[in-house]
Amino acid sequence: MKYIEHIVREYLCDGCGEPLGNQDGHPYIQAGENNYCYDCALKRGLIDAQRWLCANGIYIYDHAVYQDGVISAYRKWGKGFRRDVVRIFDQNGERV
């Protein structure tokens, strides 16, 4: 019986140091030689708020803006827009 040995490299986020889970299929962002989770990539401006929402399974918003640890997401609602707020980081930059 033959065995094939696969070496799966587990990447750590260069921002927070947490395992990215890339061997399980979790998405991550590569910027140069650095690898970031979606939270740290959003914090550094590598992705926009809309892409962060989609990566977390939230597809119902038309527009989203990230500022100071908070995503403000807007969805068409009647003649105007509905605004929802998602807090990701607190004032110290730690995950909520």
Number of H helices, E strands in the chain: 2, 5
Whether residue 65 sits in one domain with residue 35? no
Tens of pLDDT, residue by residue, the chain (96 residues): 565 566 667 788 998 888 888 777 788 899 989 999 999 999 999 999 999 999 888 888 999 999 989 999 999 988 999 999 999 888 877 777
Look at residue 46 in the predicted model and tell me its pLDDT: 95
Look at the chain and report how many structural domains it folds into. Answer: 2
Q: Are 91 and 78 in contact (CB under 8 A)?
A: no
Q: Are 64 and 48 in contact (CB under 8 A)?
A: yes
Look at residue 6 in the predicted model and tell me its pLDDT: 65
Whether residue 59 sits in one domain with residue 43? no
Look at residue 95 in the predicted model and tell me its pLDDT: 76
Structural domain including 83 reads 49-96
Look at residue 27 in the predicted model and tell me its pLDDT: 85
